[in-house]
Amino acid sequence: MSLPPGPSARDGDGPGAVAARFTGRAVTGVRPLSASLAEAVLDDGRVVVVKTTAGAEAARAEAAGLRWLAAAGAVRVPAVHGHDAHRLVVDRVAQGPPGRRAALRFGRELAALHAAGAPAFGAPPPGGPVEAFIGLAPMRNVTGDDWPGWYAGHRVLPYLRRAVDDGVVTAGEAGVVERVCERLPELAGPAEPPARLHGDLWNGNVLWGADGHVRLIDPAAHGGHRETDLAMLALFGCPRLDAVLEGYREAAPLAAGWRARVGVHQLFPLLVHAVLFGRGYAEQALAAARSADRL
């Protein structure tokens, strides 16, 4: 693949220079993909992606998260070449169609990733910051030993309070979410050890590789409950989800009642989206809370 060199390839602090610095290779071309992403072609033919992040902690969190996921030797992730205060350089993923065979394999690999574990619920990746991010929203990786209390205190309620402060959720509506948080010890199912989570596992962060292997990008990695990743996959429509879950359950059966708990685990990402994008997601979060409260 050959791309013409653009201004960014000649810019001393542009994506071409950043890619060259972290890969140790000359850059023969740069192509912008979006306001925050650019592809850089190296002189050996490889292509890397240069991502501009929200700041040094965001870049550090993403790099640490990718390396922690890679260390499990389970689901594949793009190799990290390096990062600085605002940019991250990773391998580009050549993409293909989402086939059933790849989906079954992804399910098994995701189970292995979760089984790699974490020191505690909320534990950040080694080298990752406590003050991390999920997308553009701040996310604090404060640890805890009890999943229901940790999930309520450090995932659901902080975003509920901000949604109320922002006027996206009314104080009256917040009551049903607070009630679900109080009931989490009975709603959460059997206790499980902390899993190694991707943490932001929506369909856009699942890349179906041309080689038949899935790669995961843009993690908000931390120790959590494995059903949270699976609930996130279901939230925005992952292709071949039935096959992904089939492969997962063959490798690591889920506790009875897991389907009924999907809404409990979706409360966190839905409230994050409500804070970032408004009332439509708040209504989905409230609907999920009402459904959970009927369990």
Say how far apart CA 263 and CA 4 lie, in whole Å.
48
DSSP state of 155: I
Round to whole Å and give the CA distance between 79 and 91: 5
Please tell me which residue in 11, 13, 200, 211 is annotated as part of the active site. Answer: 200
CB 239 within 8 A of CB 126: no
Distance CA 278, CA 99 (A): 34
Q: What is the rounded distance in angstroms from the CA atom of residue 11 to the CA atom of residue 60?
A: 23
200 catalytic residue (yes or no): yes
Q: Please list the residues that pair with 37 across neighbouring strands.
A: 51
Radius of gyration of the CA atoms of the chain, in A: 20
Burial bucket for residue 5 (CB in 10 Å: 0-12, 13-18, 19+):
middle
Q: Do the beta carbons of residue 16 and residue 7 sit within 8 Å?
A: no
Kindly list the catalytic residues.
200
